[in-house]
Amino acid sequence: MDTLSKETRYLRAKEKVQAEKGFYSNLTAYCIIIPMLAIFNYTTTGFVWVIFPAMGWGLGVVLHGMQVFGYNPFLGKNWEEKRLKEYMGKEG
């Protein structure tokens, strides 16, 4: 039983690391691409269209970060874990 517990913890930790890696990749791409788009925007036209992809993608990065790091202002911290324990207690 202890081995299963260690394996389960390892798999959960691995999933969290993969999720963080995905977030940081997303954030890095945002920090590289948006300035490039801004330079392109300012050298080609007078209309500041770069604000639209910056805001849209920026919102996506913020929501991705909230999901990865478990921040949910509506349901609170560890809401999912509490609900799982509650449902498992009803069945057991």
* pLDDT tens figures, 46-88: 999 999 999 999 999 999 999 999 887 777 667 777 777 888 8
Residue 23 host element (H or E): helix 2-44
What whole-number distance in Å separates Cα of residue 89 and Cα of residue 66? 28
Work out the widest C-alpha separation in the chain, in whole angstroms.
66
Total structural domains within the chain: 1
pTM for this predicted structure: 0.75
Nearest Cα to 48, choosing from 65, 63, 27, 34? 34
For residue 76, give every residue at least 6 positions away whose Cβ sits within 8 Å of its Cβ, in sequence order, or none.
none
Provide the domain limits for residue 63: 2-91
Confidence of residue 44 (pLDDT cuts 50, 70, 90): very high
User: Does the structure show a pLDDT above 70 at 1?
Assistant: no
